[in-house]
Structure 1
Amino acid sequence: MSVVFRTLIGAVFGFFCAFALSPAIAALHSDGSNFASVSTIVIVAIMAALGYFAPTVRRAFGRGFLLLGLCFFALPFSAMLLSGRAASEVVAQASADGQAAAVLGAGAAGLAVTGIATFIGLIAGAIFVILGLVLALGGRREVIVVTR
């Protein structure tokens, strides 16, 4: 029963990791492919495997929080990928007269999105990594004091 619970914990953290990496998945997605669904399934399967091989439930939570924190640390880069792709498509759709305004607007929007993602990603990533380190590495330690 514990193995199923640890695997389920890993799978749930896998969905959260896929959600945190969804801007990068959307930026790399092309029309006619099912890259987004396959990459989400791969992320969930990897996290479920990490939960399955965890020795305890506490370590499964620790591994999940650690990788979720790393995915949140990658959130600014995935937002940068998505805003770059959106800017590229906006500039390609703009007419010759409004292309300069489209470049300026897309750049400002990309800067705003990346800035907000950096703020959220660094704070949430730090919280999740610290929580994961406490859960994965912490625990009961027995100290024996020997006196003369």
Structure 2
Amino acid sequence: MGTVQEISPGATLAEKVEWLIRNLWPADAGPPRNNVETAGAIARATGEDISSTTVWKLRTGRQENPQLKTLTALATFFGVPIGYFGFPGETRSIDEDLTLQALRRDVEQGVIRPEVLRALVDLSAEARWVVDEMILSAAAADRHRRSG
């Protein structure tokens, strides 16, 4: 699905659902093209009947307090702990774990070359800081470009 975008610590439920769809979509489910396909894939994998309207509401922030069964189905489908959706105290470490999981998947799929990550580890602290700043600037520019 492309390069991994980090989820912000204060992300809304809509942002978290969208992040999952873009970054942790199961490879065996086939990429979703719309909310109908997204709902269908979740329903087939979990047995929980989720409508395309529910998916749309979750993705657009029009449903901020979904039923526990809906969150459980999402957590099961994406392979994340239910706490990812915002139970107090857990979210930051879960977000970091999921970012690492998505990065690992991108390395396995060849989106990110393993030698690049190894080279990053070998850099001095000063050189790593320069690379960090370049990556953060590129990510900000990419977000700005995609938002309009």
Tell me the TM-score normalized by structure 1.
0.31
Q: Which has the higher contact order (CA 8 A, sep 6+)?
A: 1
Tell me the TM-score normalized by structure 2.
0.31
| Structure exhibiting the larger radius of gyration computed from Cα positions | 1
The answer to which structure has the higher helix fraction is: 1
